[in-house]
Amino acid sequence: MGNWGEQLQENLRAAGRRMTSQRRLVLQVLEASDGHLDADALCARVKARDPDVSLATVYRTLSVLRELGLVEKHHLGEDHGHYEAVREVPHYHFTCRRCGQVIEFDSSLVGQIEQGLCEREGVRVTGTHLHVSGYCARCKDVAAR
């Protein structure tokens, strides 16, 4: 496991929790994922490695990982959440309203907005979530009709 895995173990210990084989497996699947997995897709990938892991276990594990700040849940234009590992470098999401494609992007402007807010209002920003929706390059012409 990389830095994220080491951070998970540290945070679990500090919260008085153990690193179980099932938590480790969910962590490995999330780390290996390129995209944003919903709980069903995550469970299917976990079950491919260990058929004894239930969907309830996946949900409980996701809850613990979110509580520890190591996993984020996003609603990317759908009713249900999609999960991804928290990364050191912040990023944001664009979702196509027609095909559902999710594009990750970063922007230094968001950091500037955070800094301005902190200076102007005296707050401390602990997280920023930006989700932009519209039509991707393939769908924008079809949607305009």
Show the domains of the chain with their CATH numbers: 1-87 (1.10.10.10), 89-145 (3.30.1490.190)
User: pLDDT of the chain along its 145 residues, tens only?
Assistant: 455 556 667 777 777 777 788 888 887 888 787 777 888 989 999 999 999 999 999 999 888 888 877 777 877 666 667 777 677 677 788 888 888 888 878 888 888 999 999 999 999 988 787 788 899 999 988 866 6
Question: What pLDDT does residue 145 have?
Answer: 66
Residues 76/82, Cβ–Cβ less than 8 Å? yes
Q: How far apart are CA 98 and CA 95, in angstroms?
A: 9
Whether the pTM exceeds 0.85: the reply is no
- Output phi, psi for 31, to 5 deg: -65, -35
Residues 88/106, Cβ–Cβ less than 8 Å? no
Question: What pLDDT does residue 18 have?
Answer: 75
Q: Of 48, 64, 129, 16, whose CA–CA distance to 56 is shortest? A: 64
Question: What pLDDT does residue 7 have?
Answer: 65
Q: How far apart are CA 122 and CA 80, in angstroms?
A: 35
Question: What pLDDT does residue 76 have?
Answer: 65
